């Protein structure tokens, strides 16, 4: 039995923006004058509403970038202007401040990528017709080497504030046709040549066209998968995004917590979970937050509260939390909560967002271009340390297990296997 590798565990915030864009009226024909009005509205509103806009980039630097953009408005296409706005927003270095445009901009090439290192980007998902390149290493796009492409895309990737979320965002943005074209990486907005190093060490170049979001979701059926003793279909408690299953000996309970249900649903789930743990004398538990991209962290507190008043678990050495680059926003917050309240040992990669972070987002729409702008209303503090380098690298796991292609190609979920071995050795 196999578990899919969820490399597209994006922030729920970004998903919400993409899904609601279908309801936005088509933007009017833009002109330099209208774009200037939008840009003025953009910076004025951000300054009014963001809790601390210039925490990373100074106001003087920001206004200089805006002035340069305004001076080039007559020379740039609408997409190019939008991309320049993305760069300015990216400079704020804020996990919950971002700029997004109409859905058409995000038409994708039929790949799901994962960044192991900047020079090792591999295909973990694609169409059945492209099975040959499953697992292949991306070398170039339209002849541009991958290191140059990575460098360009990380300048525009939104909602990034550490190395781990940067890798996740680059993996996502590298498939957007219009973005690659606007950045002058490709020669066309809807077609490009991708060169891969296949698993047999031969090179292969494929020419493909972009597809819509709906096509993308439905057609990428060839996947690299993890082997796992835990599967949604076998779960004894399950709702989409939240499910529980114990291993065959009932020694270890596994909670997959990738999205947030209602408060009442979480309370019912947590009570039923505790009954299962007591019924089978299950003293070790794993909470998998690796695909938790955000939501309402206070709902996660319900799970923690009900578990803390349960004497059945081994709270000294038996509670584990799996974390990774897709653990973002509320997912990051609950990682910290579970570490403190449940004495959980964190295993995997650092979280994609930082413990002392700008969060709690709202948005506004630029009047003419219909560009969405997200901004942060609050700042949350989950760690107290004088070492600023630690604060900027996510919540650090107790056991840092770096993703390795050798594990992925064999279907080995290395962080999960580490925990299962630790429980076995403990016994």
Summarised one tens digit per residue, pLDDT across range 313-343 is 999 999 999 999 999 999 999 999 999 999 9
The pTM assigned to this predicted structure is 0.91
Chain length of the chain:
427
pLDDT (0 to 100) of residue 388? 56
Q: Using CA atoms, how far apart are residues 331 and 258, in angstroms rounded to an integer? A: 8
Q: Is the pLDDT of residue 203 over 90?
A: yes
Structure tokens that stand for 168 in this block: 């996740």
Q: What is the pLDDT of residues 248-260, one digit of tens each?
A: 999 999 999 999 9
Q: Using CA atoms, how far apart are residues 395 and 393, in angstroms rounded to an integer? A: 7
pLDDT (0 to 100) of residue 28? 64
Least confident of 136-140, 360-364, 385-389: 385-389
Q: Using CA atoms, how far apart are residues 381 and 358, in angstroms rounded to an integer? A: 9
Domains located in the chain, CATH noted: 12-101 (no CATH), 104-223 (2.30.42.10), 226-353+394-422 (3.90.226.10)
Going by C-beta distance under 8 Å and a sequence separation of 6 or more, which residues neighbour residue 98? 13, 14, 17, 89, 158, 159, 373, 374
Q: What is the pLDDT of residues 30-44, one digit of tens each?
A: 999 999 999 999 999
SS3 assignment, position 279:
helix
Q: Using CA atoms, how far apart are residues 332 and 294, in angstroms rounded to an integer? A: 8
Q: Is the pLDDT of residue 3 over 50?
A: no
pLDDT (0 to 100) of residue 274? 96
Structure tokens that stand for 305 in this block: 């509260």
Q: Which residue has the higher pLDDT, 204 or 311?
A: 204
Q: Is the pLDDT of residue 26 over 70?
A: no
Candidates 368, 402, 269; CA nearest to 34 is: 368
**Is residue 168 packed enough to be buried (19+ CB in 10 Å), middle (13-18) or exposed (0-12)?**
buried
pLDDT (0 to 100) of residue 10? 38
Compute how many other C-beta atoms are within 10 angstroms of the C-beta atom of residue 29: 8
Distances (CA, A) of 276 to 281, 320, 390, 416: 8, 18, 38, 21
Q: Is the pLDDT of residue 7 over 70?
A: no
Q: What is the pLDDT of residues 39-93, one digit of tens each?
A: 999 999 999 999 999 999 999 999 999 999 999 999 999 999 999 999 999 999 9
């Amino acid at each position: 039995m196999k578990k899919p590798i969820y490399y597209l565990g994006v922030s729920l915030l970004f998903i919400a923006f993409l899904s609601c864009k279908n309801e936005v009226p088509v933007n009017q024909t833009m002109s330099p004058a209208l774009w200037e009005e939008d840009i003025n509205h953009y910076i004025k509103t951000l300054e009014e509403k963001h809790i601390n806009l210039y925490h990373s980039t100074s106001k003087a630097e920001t206004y200089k970038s805006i002035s340069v953009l305004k001076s080039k408005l007559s020379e740039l296409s609408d997409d190019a202007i939008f991309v320049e706005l993305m760069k300015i927003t990216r400079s704020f270095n804020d996990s919950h401040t971002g700029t997004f445009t109409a859905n058409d901009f995000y038409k994708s090439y039929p790949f799901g990528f994962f960044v192991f290192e900047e020079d090792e980007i591999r295909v973990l998902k694609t169409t059945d017709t492209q099975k040959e390149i499953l697992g292949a290493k991306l070398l170039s796009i339209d002849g541009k080497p991958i290191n140059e492409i990575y460098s360009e895309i990380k300048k525009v990737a939104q909602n990034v504030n550490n190395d781990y979320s940067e890798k996740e965002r680059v993996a996502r943005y590298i498939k957007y046709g219009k973005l690659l074209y606007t950045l002058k990486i490709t020669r066309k907005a809807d077609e490009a040549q991708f060169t891969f190093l296949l698993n047999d060490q031969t090179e292969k170049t494929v020419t493909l066209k972009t597809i819509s979001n709906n096509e993308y979701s439905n057609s990428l059926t060839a996947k690299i998968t993890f082997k796992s003793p835990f599967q949604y279909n076998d779960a004894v408690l399950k709702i989409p995004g939240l499910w529980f299953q114990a291993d065959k000996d009932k020694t270890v309970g596994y909670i997959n917590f990738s999205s947030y249900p209602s408060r009442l649903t979480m309370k019912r789930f947590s009570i039923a979970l505790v009954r299962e743990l007591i019924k089978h004398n299950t003293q070790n538990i794993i909470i998998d937050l690796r695909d938790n991209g955000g939501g309402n962290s206070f709902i996660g507190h319900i799970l923690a509260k009900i578990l803390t008043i349960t004497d059945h678990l081994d709270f000294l050495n038996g509670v584990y939390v799996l974390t990774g680059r897709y653990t973002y926003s509320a997912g990051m917050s609950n990682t910290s909560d579970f570490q403190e309240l449940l004495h959980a040992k964190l295993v995997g990669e650092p979280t994609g967002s930082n413990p002392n972070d700008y969060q709690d987002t709202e948005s506004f729409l630029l009047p003419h271009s219909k560009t969405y702008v997200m901004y942060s209303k609050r700042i949350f503090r989950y760690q107290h340390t004088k070492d600023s380098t630690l604060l900027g690298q996510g919540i650090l796991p107790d056991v840092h297990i770096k993703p390795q292609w050798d594990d992925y190609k064999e279907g080995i979920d290395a962080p999960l296997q580490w925990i299962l071995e630790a429980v076995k050795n403990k016994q």
